[in-house]
Amino acid sequence: MLQFLRIENFALIDRVEIDLSSGLTIITGETGAGKSIIVDGMLALLGARRRAEAVRDGAAKAVIDGTFLVENNTDIAAFLRNNDLEPEVDSGELFVRREITRRGGSRSFVNDRPATQALVRELGAMLIDFHGQHDHQSLLRPELHRGLLDRLAETEAAQERYRTAYRSLTAAARELKTLTERERELRAQEDFSRFRLREIEDVDPGENELEELEQDIKLRENAELIFEQTQVIADQLYENDGAVHDVLSGLRDKLEDLSELDPEFAAQRDECSSALVAVEEIARFARAYNDAIDFDRERLEEMRERSMQLQALRKRFGSMKEVFSERARLREELRLTEHFEDEIAACRDRIDAAREDVARRGADLTKMRRTTGQKLAQSVARSMRELGIKHAQFEVRIGQNQTAGDDGVWVKSGGKKVQAWNHGLDTVEFYVATNPGMDVRPLAKTASGGEISRIMLALKSMVAAGDHVATLVFDEIDTGISGGIAQKVGRAMKSLAGSRQILSITHLPQIAALADRHILVRKENKKGLVKVHVQALESDDRTREVARLLSGEKISDASLASARELMLVE
C-alpha cells in the first residue's frame, strides 16, 4: 500500500506531505481546492506523461516521492529482481521518485535506481489501480479480464497442467516449422550441394596432405643439392683422410695417456669419446640419407600436379580447414535431405498427440471459467443495482478464436480449429448495460465516468480476493448519486477497504462519514500566490467537514448533529 506521498512544485502545490494508512481514506475539499492535483501527482509518480507545464510557476522542477509497503508481494519482488531494481536492504518498502523539469525533461527512480517510464508504468499498474480516468482503469483493459476470472476460479493448478501440454505442442510445432523450412532450403539447393561435394570428393584431400606434400616436393626439388651436401658431410666427418673422426680418435688417445699421469684428464677423455660417438652418428645419418635420395622426376611431376589440385581446392574454399568443414556439412545436409520425410512424419505424430492433450486441458479450463463467470455476472449485476444502476446487466463473455491453423498452435474444439495460447483456448471480456433496452456492450466502451467508477466498485467488491493490486484510488465516483445510493456506495468502499487500501475523493457526506482517515485539501491565496494545503482531520474537525458537505459553508448545530449521526452509521 501507499504509506507516504510528497509532492513538491507540482501544478498549484508548493509542497505537501501526506502520511497514509490502510483502510478507507477520504479526501475532501471545495471545488478547485486541488484534490485532483493530488491524484494527478500520484499518476505522474507512476509514469503518466506530464508536460513541463506541470511544474509550479517559479520552480525549476517538480519532485514527487512515494513510499509503498510491498512486504510479502511476490509479484512485485519478482519484477524488481528481474529489472535489477531491488533495494540494497530489504525493509519491505519500495521507494519511487519522479522529477519533471521546467524544460520538459523527466526522470524516474525506483529504490534510488534510474528506471524508464515504461518500467515505472508497469510497476505502477501493480501498485495502484486508479478509477475515474479511463486510461488508468485496469478493469477497462480486456486483456486483464481473463486473469481476474482465473484467480476467482482458482485455475492455477489446471493452468499449470495446460501450460505443460502447451509447451510440448509449441516445441513440436517449432520443430516442424524448422524441419519444413530446412527441407525447402535443402531441396532448393540440393543440386548445387551435390556439385560442391563432388568438387571436394573428386580431389579427396587427406588430413595434412597438402602440408606434407609441399614439404616432400621441396625436398625432391633440391635432391641434387642435398645429395652433394650429405656426401660432403659424410666424407669430412668419417671417410676422407684426415677426417674429423680420425683427428678426434688421435686426440682421445693422447687424453687417455695424460689421464694415466693425472686423473683430471679423464673427464676430458670421456668428453672426446662422446664427441666421437656423435660424429659417427652424424656421418651414418648423412650416408643413409644420401643413399635414399630419390631422383625420380616423373614422381616429382605427379606430386606437383597433386599439389596444384589441393591448392586450387584451398583457394576455392578459403583454407583446407574450411574444405574439410564444408565436406562434413554437405554430407550431413544431403543425408538429411534423404531422410526428411521420416523425420517430418515423426514430428507430425508428436504434434497430434500434444494437440489432443492441449485440447483436453483447455476444455477443463474453459469449464471452470464458464462456471465462475456465470456466478460473477450475477453477483456484479446485483451489486451494480444496489449502487444505483437500476437496470444493470453484466456478462462475462468467454469465446474462442477460430484459426486457419497455419502456425501449428491450434486445437480442435467443437469441431473447429481454434487458436491455443499460453493461458488456454479462451478469450474473456466483461460486457455491461446500464440503461433499460440497452444491449450489453464491452466494459471498455461504457458510458459516464461516475457510472463506470461504480461499475468498477461493484466489480472490485466481487473480485477483491483475486486482485493483487493493494491500493485503489476513486476520483469522484459519486457523480450523479445521492442519499441512500451514496450510502450504499460508501458501505461498498468500506467493505472493500477491509482487504485493500482505498483512497477516495468525494463531495458526498454519506461517503466521507465512513472514513477511517479523513484528509482535507484547501487552497489559499496570499499576496497573489496560490498554495494548496493538506490537513489530516481528527475528531471535531472531521465532524465539521462532514457537516460542511451536508449544509455548505454555513455549519449549523443541526448539520453537526446530522454529521455525527452519519458518522455513527456502519
List the pLDDT tens digit at each of the 570 positions of the chain.
Answer: 999 999 999 988 889 999 999 999 999 988 778 888 898 999 999 988 887 788 988 889 999 999 999 988 888 999 999 999 988 778 889 999 999 998 888 999 999 999 999 999 999 988 998 876 444 456 777 888 898 899 888 899 999 999 999 999 999 999 888 888 877 777 777 778 778 888 888 888 888 888 888 888 888 877 788 888 888 898 899 888 888 988 899 999 899 889 888 899 999 999 999 999 999 999 999 999 888 887 777 888 888 888 888 988 888 888 888 989 989 988 877 777 777 778 888 999 999 999 999 999 999 999 999 999 999 999 989 888 888 888 889 999 999 998 877 766 899 988 899 999 999 999 999 999 888 888 899 887 775 556 777 777 787 777 665 567 889 888 877 766 777 888 888 888 898 888 889 999 988 999 999 999 999 998 887 766 778 889 999 888 999 999 999 888 788 889 899 889 888 755
Q: Has residue 227 been placed in a domain?
A: no
Burial of 552 (0-12, 13-18, 19+ CB in 10 A): exposed
- What's the grid cell of residue 156? 492455477
Residue 67 sits in a domain whose CATH number is: 3.40.50.300
- Identify the pLDDT of residue 299: 83
78-103 burial, b at 16+ Cβ within 10 Å, e below that, comes to ebbeeeebbeeeeeeebbbbbbbebe
Q: Has residue 228 been placed in a domain?
A: no
Q: Has residue 266 been placed in a domain?
A: no
User: Cα separation of 38 and 129, whole Å?
Assistant: 15
238 secondary structure, DSSP code: I
Q: Long-range contact list for 290-297, CB < 8 A, 24+ apart? A: 290/227, 290/230, 290/231, 290/234, 293/223, 293/226, 293/227, 293/230, 294/220, 294/223, 295/223, 295/224
- Closest to 320 in 3D by CA, of 210, 197, 198: 210
Q: Has residue 473 been placed in a domain?
A: yes
Q: Please answer whether residues 94 and 46 qualify as being in contact, where contact means their C-beta atoms are separated by less than 8 angstroms.
A: no
- What's the grid cell of residue 532? 494548496
Q: Has residue 106 been placed in a domain?
A: yes
User: Cα separation of 445 and 140, whole Å?
Assistant: 8
- Identify the pLDDT of residue 127: 92
The number of folded domains in the chain is: 1
- Closest to 45 in 3D by CA, of 139, 105, 123: 123
- Identify the pLDDT of residue 376: 92
Q: Has residue 288 been placed in a domain?
A: no
Q: Please answer whether residues 126 and 76 qualify as being in contact, where contact means their C-beta atoms are separated by less than 8 angstroms.
A: yes
User: Cα separation of 223 and 202, whole Å?
Assistant: 31
- Identify the pLDDT of residue 199: 86
- Identify the pLDDT of residue 553: 77
Whole domain around residue 476: which residue ranges? 1-132+463-537
Q: Has residue 301 been placed in a domain?
A: no
User: Cα separation of 434 and 391, whole Å?
Assistant: 6
Q: Has residue 14 been placed in a domain?
A: yes
Please, which residues bridge with residue 518 across strands?
26, 537
- The owner of cell 625432391 is 220
